[in-house]
Structure formats: structure tokens, C-alpha cells
Amino acid sequence: MGVLVGKQAPAFSAKAVVDGNKIVDNFSLEDFKGKHYVVLFFYPKDFTFVCPTELHAFQSKLQEFENRNAKVIACSTDTEFSHWGWLQVPKAKGGIEGITYPMVADTNKTIAYNYDVLAGDYDYNEDNELSATGELVSYRGLFIIDLEGVVRHQIVNDMPLGRNVNEVLRTLDALQYNEKHGEVCPANWTEGEQGMAATIEGVSQFLSMN
């Protein structure tokens, strides 16, 4: 997997479902640059099993992301109509009714490719015919993008492995703490704890207290 941390997040403009029921044609990350942090997460497929648990987990914490001036955006290689259809299915029946954050439709798979989370690949066979190896859907990639549009955190899980939304919040807190105070955040740091100076003295003081 490619490392995007420290680089500008790949731009895109695509169809998306917003507010749980409205399809828009040109959803773009550029609309958030300079205004909001972005938590962009990819999931493999609509109408599956681990995916709805993640989508609902992000929805349940949506206000906490909003409190941190962060926008949550989901993306898969399904169509906008598939997203919309899944949003009509009640949670009790495996659906994602009630999800309100944007769901991007990466139907041409270029967004997942540019973020290097696309499973499988295209190739040409011995007859020079285009073929595909593996299933061309996205891994469970997640990217935290700062106000300048720079990727500051990324994590990629294999498809069976659901993510921890609380850890995403903790990492976002650490980023914002560093930006505000200039201190770095040691292992297992959580909001409300002190950071430390990025010096030998700072490390020594922290280790002596823990």
C-alpha cells in the first residue's frame, strides 16, 4: 500500500448520496478544504455484513466528529443508486437507514485506486485482452485529512476486520492537540492528558512519570 501521509489528499469529484436521501452529481473534497477536517473511509461493498456495523458506528459518533470540526465521508465502489437503496433498508434488517453523512460512489474505481486501497488489479492476458485479478473493491482504508487538505493519518484493514471508531476520534484529538499546543502525543495518549516536548528532556520526563 502507498503511504499518503504528509501529501495532499487525492482530489475527486463524484456522485454521492448526502443527508441519507439526496443524490448529488459533483461531490468534492475541495468543498471542505480550509473549512473542516475530513475523515474519509472506504468500505468494500453495500449490502454486506461488517460494513453496516462500521457505517452505523460512525453515525453514532457523528456529533463527536462534528464537535471537532470534522466531516465524515464514506466511499465504496458501488453506485449511488446502490447506496440510496441500502439507505432505505432498516437497521434491523441489515440496512443503513439513518446514515446522514455523505456516501461517495466510486463507480469507476479511480478514487480507491488513487488512495491505493483498491483490491485486485487490471492486467492483460496472453491474448492481449484486459482482465482483472482479484475483486475490484476497496479495502477498509481510512484517512484523516487536515484543514490544508494534507493526509495526516491513514490505516488500511483487510476486508474481514472492522475498525475502531473511538481510535479514529483519539487520533483526531492527538492531531488537533499537536496543532494547538505544539507538543507531541506519546503512546496511548488520550484527550485531557498532557503531551510532551519533542526533546530528550521531554521524553525523559514523560518516561520517568510512567
Contacts of 183-191 with C-beta under 8 Å, sequence gap 24+, read none
Q: Is 34 left (phi over 0), alpha (psi -120 to 50) or beta?
A: left
Is 70 within 8 Å of 36 (Cβ atoms)?
A: yes
Is residue 185 annotated as a catalytic residue, yes or no?
Answer: no
- Give the active site residue among 4, 14, 17, 51: 51
- Reduced to 3 states, what is the DSSP secondary structure of residue 93? helix
Residues 6+ apart with CB under 8 A from 167: none
Burial class, 125, CB count within 10 angstroms (exposed 0-12 / middle 13-18 / buried 19+): exposed
Q: How many residues does the chain have?
A: 210
Residues annotated as part of the active site: 51
